[in-house]
Amino acid sequence: MTTNLLEFDLDGLAAFCERLGEKRFRATQLFRWIHQRGATEFDQMSDLAKSLRGKLAGSAHVQGLPVISQHASNDGTIKWLFDVGEGNAVEAVFIPESDRGTLCISSQAGCAVGCRFCSTGHQGFSRNLTTGEIVAQLWFAEHFLRKHLKTEDRVISNVVMMGMGEPLQNYNALVPALRVMLDDHGYGLSRRRVTVSTSGVVPMIDRLAQDCPVALAVSLHAPNNLLRDNLVPLNRKYPLAELMESCNRYLEHAPRDFITFEYCMLDGVNDQPQHAQELIALVQQYRRPGVWCKFNLIPFNPFPASGLLRSPMARVTAFGKLLSDAGIVTTVRKTRGDDIDAACGQLAGDVKDRTQVVKRIAQQRMVMMAQVPSVVEPPKGV
């Protein structure tokens, strides 16, 4: 059985080449052919020695993920569904803007965290993706877009690990994939332009700070532990105090001088003025010199199983103004790709659930109805 070279960062590829009796510079040449030029056939790699090409032909291959479907939004967003085998499929989304091209990548087939407002979490969890399966999404998208746009220039300038899955629960596959993205012989992305989004896996936030610090986005979504326990079940293991302290520690190593807090606006659940005041108090409790955090308010993209509604835009705007007036940099995310279910929280793919998540979420909702009625029964109107 041959090895898929998309599984390796440059150090891993160098070790593979050494096992073939080759020097490290051959790995660098090979790495460039694969990632910068999108080559899949070793005979294409003209500056490699024939002897090496022969060795590679018998021991390795370069293979991306099969594309099940591709959908283009009216706003230019493109969503791909990739087959990762055994009945599982994951989604990736390209978002073009005037000053950047952002690719949203999946790290798992499904997600075990089970956030109430995320359709991926409602689908359950099957397995972690390998490094090669994570990298393959970028490899395919970059070279597909170059061909489509008839350009040799890099199309994807930003990568966000915000697709299906909790990236930090697939840490061992994630870090080599990040290194491929950052490597100048690969995609040459800046650490500031690669973002890992997490629901708050505190020990792995600390490890990422040491191993491969990139931009960090934290899915906060609630200003207190009671509400966050209900919306983001991982909070029961790593409550807000631990999470906020880990964010402060991460800033010592981060390429940016701030953490982004994602906050999905849910009608009558977490969008009231008192919630904004609690957030302000939380941020001030852990404040560092300068701007240490930014809030990204996300209009919720409803789906039937959630039992939740989107906050009216007037309330989102008022909520953001309260944060801004308190000196907290706040933006409202523009919804992109919602007509093809490619917007935030909508990626669901196709997952063979091993976690009985539907049953668990139903049980959680019964608890919520008893503890926090407003979570289940949002009020009407603004």
Q: CA-CA distances (angstroms) from residue 249 to 106, 162, 195, 206, 310?
A: 26, 22, 17, 7, 33
Annotated catalytic residue, options 118, 212, 247, 344: 344
Structure tokens at 143: 């070279």
Q: What angle do CA 76, 77, 83 make, to 5 degrees?
A: 135
Bridge partners (DSSP) of residue 217 are: 197, 260
Judge whether 91 counts as a catalytic residue.
Answer: yes
Task: Indicate which residue of 91, 133, 142, 262 is catalytic.
Answer: 91
The residues that are catalytic are 91, 344
